[in-house]
Structure 1
Amino acid sequence: MACLGGNSPYLSDLARQDPLSFAALLQDGPEACAKDAFAALAACDITSGREYVAATLRRAKKQVALLCAVADLGGFWPLEDVTQTLSRLAEAALEVSVRHLLWVAHQSGQLQLRDPKRPTYGCGFFVLAMGKLGARELNFSSDIDLMVLYDPSGHKQPDAVRRVFIRMTSDLVSLMEARDANGYVFRTDLRLRPDPSSTPAAVSVQAAILYYESLGQTWERAAMIKARPVAGDLKLGRDFLAAIRPFVWRRHLDFALIDDIHTMKARIDRYRNVGRTGLAEMPDSVLADPAASMQWLLGHNLKLGQGGIREIEFIAQAMQLVWGGRVPALREKTTFGALKKLVGSAYIPREEAEVLARTYRLLRDAEHRLQMRADHQTHSLPEQPEAFHAFAVFMNYADGEALALDLLPRMREARRIFERHFVSQPQAAEEAETALLAIAPDDENSPTLLQNVGFPADQAAEAAQVLARWQGNSLRALRSERAHALLRALLPALLASFAARSNPLACLRRFDTLLARQHAGVQLLSLFERNPALIDRIAALFDASAFLANHLADTPSALEGLLEPEPEEGRNVQARLRQLAAEVEHTDLLVTALRPLLRGEEFRLSVAVLEGRMSENEAERARTALADTIMIVLKQAVEKDHVRRYGRVPGGGIAVIALGKAGSREMMPGSDLDLLLIFDHPEEVQASIVPKTPPQKTPEGLVLAAPRSVAVAQYYTRLAHAFIAALTAPGPEGPLYAVDMRLRPSGAAGPVAVSRRAFLKYHTEAAWTWERMALTRARIISAPVGLKREVQDDLRRILDGEIQSKAPVPAGVLEDARAMRARLARDLPASSPWDIKRRAGGLIEVEFVAQSLQLVAADRSVRDPCTRRALTRLGKAGLLTPDDTALLLEADAVWRRLQCLLRLLCGPVPPLDLERELAPPTLAVLLHAMEMESVVTLLTRTTALARNVRACFARVVGPVAEGDAFAEVMVEANLPHSHT
């Protein structure tokens, strides 16, 4: 009470005007009084006239304002409870007002409501809360930022309704902010609506969507982070936010927006002329001087000044906008919540976030105290020392100097963090580096300048030609002044990093290719500017692998994978994929959203293997988990679309089964998906069932075709085709995956999806041994629970031999496997000793041993889709000797490692000659990763390993005629193939 009476005339007046409420507050506490106040507001009779409604709103405002102040000053509530209660008051007041205005419009015949007892139901009019109200962080004397939108298409006279809704918006503002004998409720601000200078107070949904899709700016994206429907037709509000989600949350990383936000903050500083300069550079001596600290703070704007509230909010919002398109978990409206989630996903260091959160809390507390004094919307500290001392006492400090010693160091740290994220520090350029920015093709000094940077003399002239090409507008990516400015700032670091590599010119050419294939260079160059460590990583990659460099130029979104940090609690890309799928309505949009995330993650895994930060086993599991999740979410999306078109098959379902590398969780770079689709349904069900529902509309108002019933076989065939089409849909960066379905019954000639009965019949009557071998790596990715259990049992019975094929087997499983291997060697011989899969003693033979012995054993205890685990189980069961088990496990590891590296460094086609086809730095990466001294050593050891595997295959499965004669020659000569 002393705090109220001595520091805040406004709060003192509230207590004196309503002593009964004040007495109840002192007796019952703020929580009970808040409950009573909101109950009274909810009971407001919206039919009792404008004066009654206005008085009810203003009475509630006074009661809630006083109890929030007492709860805040007395330490009953933390800051979050205070701001949420104030926000709840604003929401409730807006809802009562909108309901009242809709009812009045209905009674006067201006509107025809669907249900006058529930005025907001389907009314086509809604209020979006923006800013602090949207985030439920309203401060004590805050404006409420609103956006009012409507959809006239649901009314019979759209033009007339438009005028009604615009007039209603003006009435709503008046109900909120008009002052009378009871005061006011909230000041309102409608300036965050689309193009406020030329649009009415209320804007149609269709016009708003068109605006954001074509003219929306970065600051409007940031504002929409906090947008939330709070009154009126809430479903229409949620649909609107879903429609503009692609505008707010970009799928590709957009570091250029950081410059936009910094420019916006600088514009605010210039316009407001707020704050002091040089806070980040302030010496500790000032911070240790109480008088100097207080002097600096006099008149400082806590919201817009340096180290203030807005800078902390900008940091959180910028990081959310950069990463939130890829990581939906970051789409948090509150500042505290956003900082916490950014830390959890490792996009902001924990130490930074803790500094920002502590400073933000203290600044918001101070902001509340400033506004409590007289209910003024102010953010500036007192300008006079006496007033500053009095304010410090209100803040529960001994005096102004004590407040300054606590507040100013925190603000300095917040400002330093802001500058690390937003302010590009100019670096002094050496004279030679400055000259690099103006290289011309006919300038005889240009090669010398590049040699001074570190380029070899024989490469400098051609490098100068590349740089000269960047000066004009010949590259599409460099046709804006902003792109040129970014490139000028980056060029010294780029050239220094390239010059440090074994082939600087190759690195420069590959970066030039990357630039040349960009539609706009600002995004790419901003990414490098904001992540300078990425330059060295890309330079090393360009130096090591021409294939990965070309892949990056073709799929620039892959670069984003290198920027992904490791979250504190482990990486969970699968959860992110599921979140993306949950927010995308249509399959084609989901495919578009998944591509950049998949490309980035695949590239990240590939680079992690090359850099030695991840083993191939870990990378294979991660690639497979990624593919599994993409298949699951795509199947769900395709089924959802399919049900809209063709209804449902009662009791039916389809199973997606992975075979090959996807089934064994051993997917390599570029692996396709070997899939088998099996469906089942009750025998009595012959066609899909279509429910009787009203015609459905798209968000654009188009009427969708009514669903129609089709025969069950046709239903699942179409579903399978839609699923495969989604996986393989072409795009600018290629399909999600290539799909191979030749392992299905009857191969390429059979149906895409096969019924469970037909699948069992095939394996009873016509299946070959190789098809049963393929099933040892079968793994069900997605299926209804019952069908999954049944198909798992079917696979078990096939592999256990309970279901025997009548197809002729020459002399048992092993002889059939041997004959198959001989046929493959004859029809598809290895192209070179680096054809790891098909060479004699290569990966196929290791896998054939594991698969054929699992069939011979007919025992689930020795089966596992993963080859190395199956070999281990076979060894423990005595079906392989310890020596053979060790040999095959070694060969499996070496072959998979070498095949992975060759795919990363050379591409999908195995090289014929390593020394001729791989540049020296690329070859060095390969040899280092394989822990070999030279190509001769690698060739000698792998050929010896292959010979031992071939011998093992002959012992266990049966002999195969030698078709790899060049291997013997190379071993005897101890020379690379190119020398023989």
Structure 2
Amino acid sequence: MSRAERWRTTLARAGFADATRAGELLDGLGGSGPELVAILGRTADPDLALTALLRLLESADDRERLFDAVVDDEGTAMRLLCVLGASSALGDHLVRHPDHWRELTDPTLGSTRAPAFAMRADLLRAVGADPAADVPVSTLPDREALDALRVEYRRLLLRVAARDLAHDQGVDDTAAELSDLAASTLDAALAVARARVGDDHADARLAVVAMGKCGGHELNYVSDVDVVFAFAPADGVAEATATRVATRLASNLMQVCSDHTAEGTIWPVDAALRPEGTQGPLVRTVASHRGYYERWAKTWEFQALLKARPVAGDRALGEEYAEMVEPLVWQAADRDNFVGDVQAMRRRVVENIPAAQVDRQLKLGPGGLRDVEFAVQLLQLVHGRADERVRAPATLSALHELTVGGYVGRPDGEAMHAAYAFLRTLEHRIQLFQMRRTHVLPDDEASLRRLARSMGCFKEPVAELDRTWQHHRREVRRLHEKLFYRPLLAAVARIPGEGARLSPEQAGDRLSALGFVDPTSALRHLASLTEGVRRSAAIQRTLLPVMLEWFASAPDPDAGLAGFRKLSESLGGTPWYLTTLRDEGQVAERLATILATSRYASDLLQREPAGVKMLGEDLAPLSAEALTDEMASIGKRRDEAEQAVRQVRAVRRRELLRIASGELVGLTDVAEVGAALSRLTDATLEATLEIAGRAVRDQRGLDEAPTALAVVAMGRYGGFELSYGSDADVLFVHDPLPGADAQQAASYARAVVEELRRLLSVAGPDPALEVDAGLRPEGKQGPLVRTLDSYAAYYAKWSRVWEAQALLRADAVVGDPELRRRFTELIDPLRYPAQGLTHDDVVEIRRIKARVDTERLPRGADRNTHLKLGRGGLSDIEWTVQLLQMRHGAQVEGLRTPQTLAALEGAREAGLVEESDAVVLADGWRTVSRIRNAITLVRGKAGDQLPRDTRERAAVAITVGYPPGGTDAMVNDYLRRTRRAHAVVERVFWE
């Protein structure tokens, strides 16, 4: 191998991407090239560092001195080249201001952090202000002051970056130094603002209070600096005058920092965290701040105030503000919906991440910085009320105190500390390159390689960085999930080796803050589940930290935990239950969601504990054929009718759980739910009809049935639109077989129908299926079951228009197929009259509708939110579609269906309603039906009014697909959609 080849190989191993070009550039440095290779090889980007060094040498007036320092002084070379290799922006700054390289010759950079007062003095002097003055004012011309401020800021920033990159300064120290630099810059900017305002500046005292990362002493290299401004009038000055002056000072301060000049910009100053946000006044007195926080502030505003710190301007006024807000911050956890508000804010942050960035977001993505910060802040707000030690504003400091205080287990605290420090360091390195505000990991190979090397990954940079990052992301997600909950288990279960030790009172406080209404009962449940050395208790201690988070995110954590305990006590001895929950996370999450949301599904689970297994399946409803075959097969295996139907009802119970679970976890649409419940009812009736017929024949000694029997579904059942709380509205029809005695046939049919209804309503562990025949001719006064000829005679002589309307939903679904077909042929001319409806018929339908709306609306019900009879509710939409069916069904085949949405689609295709109107009516019907189902799921019983109870309403919102905290959005959407549906009904039904 030639010397040139060995040289290129050496450079490639040192990390140069273009070894040939690097060799040529280093050769230009004479014999010093090889001496620099080792140092360049430790930089983030050796090619960039070398190129920037050569640019700096060209621009420096003292080129020889610079060259000698780089060659002879390893400390200077390391600091300079590390900066040049990691930050093209600081390299450009050094080229513009080459004398600043001397800052990096300071040997104390490796061991001494600049004090805040020294940085403040440097920056004030840079703008021509006296650091010793009580109220420093810039004396430089405005443009000169702006440029001088930027140059001096970058000079000081250069020193911070050199200490960070070359001397392995801790990320907390770097962030604190950046915060002090920002605070000093604000003071210097205020000095320039005073010069702009002129002598009037003395009319107002202005305090600048840092919020967010600057307030918490944990600022990034590039970040908005969040502030709040407080002012007070100078002695003898009217408040209105002082307000104008303070507003001008604050506005100018913000402009001084954000304006672009020949020397660039610094960073934006953001005052959006002030009371009322951007809609509120820029400055307020301390008393005005107090009034707002005491009366109007939201939870997230107190969370933000946790880091409030006076940093510039009138320090005494700033301290007065800080003393005022501190007690308010530590009362925030006592507010209603405290944790829900905090969690909702976190969800909003995550939801606003562009989809393409989710997997590369260091700050806002899953397992990112926000997960740590929100976790720590929530624990601080809960426990800081009683323990002042945990009130530190900096995240890492607070995490340390929470760990020392026993609120976080020591291993967890250490792992979270390591993950957060890594993520913050990685964030710093990303921002340093171009001094841009970003929290997104780059996706190109070259940038990732540079970033990885800046983090100390040299062997396989990109792969090593990715492994480490993914490890910390997983740790953050894991710890975020357990941080609140494992210490709760330690408080009740005495877990060996667990560092956190909450007292019962502290554990109760934490549970209350997490949304548990009865923390004492919750602690008893936890103790029962986790105490002891049983294998099940050990598995529960693994499960519960995650389960508790899911319970706390759901509407009713108390019900979730209590239901979980009951289920665990029922199934704890089975070999599959706990291991399924432990090993299949989807099952555990679905179970927690169901138990803490739905009383209906929870009751089914208590009756059908083995249904937990089902939660790992796709939860798609079974087909009608599969259900009918299974139930029929079960019915044939039992001789005794009640035992046979008990087995049929057990299958129905299992399938009700499947359907409800599918809807609760968002897998089954409301129309699919209605169809599935109707198919399940078909199968149940089909199997029970066969069992009842066999029982009656056995009792009467008959070899075969004397008459054919069929069940006709009516109402929502006939429309394939059953909900969980619906009865099965039916008609019973029979037709004697040839040669059979008419009286014997009628007696047999009545006995079978009565036996069917009895078997399905027997008390037991299964939900009863109420079979309601109230829509039969003559109502409850008429015979329970009629022959086909009797129906024909009645309809020919006595049928009214409302009965024809009721038959629109008739669907002969169960029993003898031929009899079902003939019944359908009988009623089709009635419900779809060949000549349509007469004027009098239309008037009668409208009269009945008006009467139903008026007389059947319950006393005290709100017509705006009554799901069935309210404005734009189910009655409005369904009557409108039914009127179209009766008017045009004989001519339009698409209208000849018992299903509302299918008939509406047929009307749209036939041009009977505008497409936009059809969309509005379908959307309204789906919305109301989903909410109606959700009410039954949540309460465990049917309801036709939007719940007034806040917890029930929140549960309904979650069940229909809104995120936690989306109750108002659900109500607003409901009111908007039903209002639009009602407007269509007014045009189509009433005109």
TM-score relative to the length of structure 2? 0.44
TM-score relative to the length of structure 1? 0.45
- Give the greater-gyration-radius structure (CA): 2
Structure 1 or 2: larger helix share? 2
